[in-house]
Structure 1
């Protein structure tokens, strides 16, 4: 579902923009996950 939405949002000739957007979103998701994981007590 998420992939099809991203394809629809970035259905433009510039595939490089999709690549950088994917990198940015993945880094933001990993950063949020690590922050949540590190701030939670074990």
Structure 2
């Protein structure tokens, strides 16, 4: 993001194949993988 903006570009969207942990509204992803603590396993 910083590299694109440093050369005058504009970030239209942030994309990932999968995200993990707390879902973010600003990232487009095909799926979300929740993280489990050792107590939940």
Q: Same fold, TM exceeding 0.5?
A: no
- Higher helix share goes to which structure? 1
- Higher strand share goes to which structure? 2
TM-score by length of 2: 0.29
TM-score by length of 1: 0.29
Greater RCO, 1 or 2 (C-alpha within 8 Å, sep 6+): 2
